[in-house]
Amino acid sequence: MPTYVAIKKQIAELEKKAADVRKAEIAKVIVSMKRQIAEYDLTAADLGLAGAGKAAVKKKAPASKRPKLPAKYMDPKTQKTWNGHGKPPLWIAAATKRGRRDDYLIERVMAAAATKVAPKAPAAAPTTQPKKAAATKAAAIRRRAVASAPAKAAAVKAVSKKPASKAVKKPTVGEVPAATATVAEPAAASRAE
C-alpha cells in the first residue's frame, strides 16, 4: 500500500502533466477559433465578449438628478428642516398628530423668531397608564412597604439600647389574646342566646 507522501508526489506529477496537456490543447483551440472567426467575419460583439460589449452598446445619457427641493418645515428648537417629502421626522409627526403642522412652516417660524416670540414648542405626549397597570403598580409598592416593615422594625430594635422591660406573651392555640377577648365576648354571648 502506498504511503501518504507517495500519493501526494503522484498528485503533483499528474497536475504538472495536466497543465502541459492543457497548454497544448488551448493552442489548438485558439488556432481553430481564429480560423472560424475570420471565415465568418465575426466581431467581439457577435461573440458577446465583455470588453467588446462596452464599445458596442450605445452610451447612455447620464442619469438626470432630481433637483433638491427647498425646505418647507423647520423645527424651532433644533433648526432642522424637512421638505415635506418622504418619511417625516419625529418632531413634525408629533405636530401632525396634534394638528399643529402649519406652525412649523418656515415662514411662520422665521416670523416668530423675528418678533422674538417663539412658537409653541411641541409638548410631550402625556403618558397615560391604563387603570389596571396603575393599580398593579400601586399594589406592588404596597407589598414592598409591607415586606420591608418587619425588617425596619428589627433594625430599630437592634439599634435601640434599651432592653425590653416586658416580654410580650404570645397566645397559645385555643387562647384568645386580651385585646381580642373583649371584642369576641359579645359575639359569643349573642350566640348563646
* Cα 94 to chain centroid, rounded: 20
Asked if residue 44 belongs to a domain, the reply is yes
> For residue 74, how many other CB atoms are within 10 A of its CB?
21
Domain C-terminal end among 89, 114, 139:
114
Q: Is residue 109 part of a domain?
A: yes
Tell me if residue 105 falls in helix, strand or coil. Answer: strand
Mark which of 98, 114, 130 sits at the end of a domain: 114
Q: Is residue 127 part of a domain?
A: no
Query: Does some domain include residue 92?
Result: yes
Report CA-CA distances (Å) from 182 to 59, 154, 172, 176, 190: 107, 30, 18, 10, 13
Domain that holds residue 30: 4-50
- 85 within some domain: yes
Encode pLDDT of 57-106 as tens digits. Answer: 555 555 566 678 888 898 888 888 988 888 999 998 998 999 888 888 88
Q: Which residues of 156-168 are buried (b: 16+ CB within 10 A; e: fewer)?
A: eeeeeeeeeeeee
User: Per-residue pLDDT averaged across 137-157, rounded?
Assistant: 61
- Between 116 and 177, name the one with better pLDDT: 116
In the prediction, which pLDDT does 106 show? 87
Whether residue 100 is contained in a domain is answered as: yes
Is 96 a member of any domain?
A: yes
Confidence of residue 192 (pLDDT cuts 50, 70, 90): low
Assess if residue 98 is contained within a domain.
Answer: yes
Residue 108 has pLDDT above 50, yes or no: yes
What does the block give as the cell for 60? 447612455
Indicate if the pLDDT at residue 53 is higher than 50. no
**Do 11 and 44 belong together in one domain?**
yes
Based on the structure, what is the number of domains in the chain?
2
Helix, strand counts (H, E) of the chain: 7, 2
